[in-house]
């Protein structure tokens, strides 16, 4: 009896689960419904494709300017929902692959770069620690209300392709942490989410030309407004702003403070009880150093 109830709840929760396309790296990476509660014991695999055009950097410390690029990004994800210390949680593994063409000024010289290969893999832990309790039965969006508080920690590993003779690389050759705290507040079919976080960068002792790179934290604020149409079918508007991230090479500070903004539209649609697709459009710019590009992405997710 219990196994049939769990199976039924899983089929239902798959319809309301997070369905996201891959997003390109930047000061804001939008994942609407991060702070929605999902029953434990579920598995998700997802594959996303994204395309970006403009001043696209996969590493926010590059000594380049007036850059124009076209970048293709494929991201594979695995997600497991579980209980940790009695709290609803998710563990994620994210593997990116990129291919792109860049042209611009590096140290005032015009250069081009074509590259394809693996980017830096990520390990992610998410927990809801207030206003949420683990449950095998999901609550329909129209019946939800109240506020859920949670936190997320992303670990960026230096596993991507890297060549210190090139200014633009697919990997950053350093560890990184992205701690985040946020909330989700539901009223009927609407959900509002907000989060504050920071990119904390490790040191790169083999930076471009064999130099030593350090970077200050990049502070990030994000906001999502999500509208549920029916189970598994929802859309969201997202906005974010990032400030900081000044770099220093061999101890000498550089004029690289980032003031980046992002906006995006995300749509998720279920095609079967255990499968869904998503689509997103995004745009962003900067008031200092940093990225400035437009993106489009699609994604597919399978759950069991």
Q: Which distant-in-sequence residues (6+ apart) come within 8 Å of 58 by Cβ?
A: 24, 25, 71, 98, 119, 160, 168, 169, 170, 171, 172
Give residue-wise pLDDT tens across range 37-81.
778 889 999 999 999 887 776 565 565 667 788 889 999 999 999
Higher pLDDT, 122 or 59: 122
Q: According to the model, what pLDDT value does residue 196 have?
A: 96
Is the predicted pLDDT of residue 299 greater than 50, yes or no?
A: yes
Q: What is the pTM of this model?
A: 0.83
| CATH class belonging to 2-303 | mainly beta
pLDDT of residue 64: 60
pLDDT of residue 289: 61
Encode pLDDT of 168-183 as tens digits.
Answer: 788 889 999 999 999 9
pLDDT given for residue 290 in this prediction: 60
Distance CA 125, CA 215 (A): 24
Annotated domain spans of the chain: 2-303
pLDDT at 161 over 70: yes
- Residue 20 pLDDT class (50, 70, 90 cuts): very low
Q: What percent of the chain has pLDDT over 70?
A: 80
What's the CA gap between 286 and 261, in Å, rounded?
6
pLDDT in tens, 208-264: 888 999 999 999 999 999 999 988 899 999 999 989 888 888 888 887 788 888 899
Q: What is the mean pLDDT of the chain?
A: 81
Local confidence band at 90 (pLDDT 50, 70, 90 cut-offs): very high
Sheet strands side by side (includes 252-253): 204-207, 211-215, 247-249, 252-253
């Amino acid at each position: 009896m219990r196994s049939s109830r769990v199976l039924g709840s899983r089929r239902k929760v798959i319809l309301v689960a997070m369905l996201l396309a891959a997003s390109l790296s930047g000061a804001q990476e939008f994942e609407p419904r991060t702070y929605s509660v999902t029953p434990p014991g579920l598995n998700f695999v997802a594959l996303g494709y994204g395309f970006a055009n403009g001043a696209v950097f996969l590493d926010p410390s590059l000594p380049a300017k007036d850059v124009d690029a076209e970048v293709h990004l494929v991201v594979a994800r695995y997600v497991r929902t579980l209980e940790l210390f009695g709290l609803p949680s998710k563990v994620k593994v994210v593997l990116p692959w990129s291919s792109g063409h860049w042209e611009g000024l590096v140290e005032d010289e015009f250069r081009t770069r074509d590259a394809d290969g693996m980017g830096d893999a990520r390990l992610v832990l998410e927990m809801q620690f207030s206003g949420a309790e683990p449950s095998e039965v999901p609550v329909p969006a129209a019946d939800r209300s109240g506020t859920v508080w949670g936190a997320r920690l992303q670990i960026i590993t230096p596993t991507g392709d890297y060549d210190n003779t090139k200014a633009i690389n697919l990997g950053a050759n350093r560890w990184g942490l992205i701690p985040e705290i946020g909330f989700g507040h539901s009223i009927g079919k609407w959900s509002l989410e907000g989060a504050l976080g920071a990119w904390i960068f490790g040191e790169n002792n083999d930076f471009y030309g064999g130099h030593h790179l350090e970077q200050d934290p990049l502070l990030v604020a994000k906001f999502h407004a999500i509208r549920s149409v029916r189970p598994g079918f929802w859309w969201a508007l997202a906005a974010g702003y990032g400030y900081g991230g000044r770099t220093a090479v061999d101890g000498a500070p550089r004029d690289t403070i980032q003031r980046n903004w992002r906006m995006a539209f995300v749509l998720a649609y279920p095609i079967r009880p255990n499968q869904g697709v998503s689509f997103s459009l995004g745009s962003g710019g900067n008031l200092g150093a940093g990225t400035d590009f437009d993106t489009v992405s699609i994604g597919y997710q399978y759950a069991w």
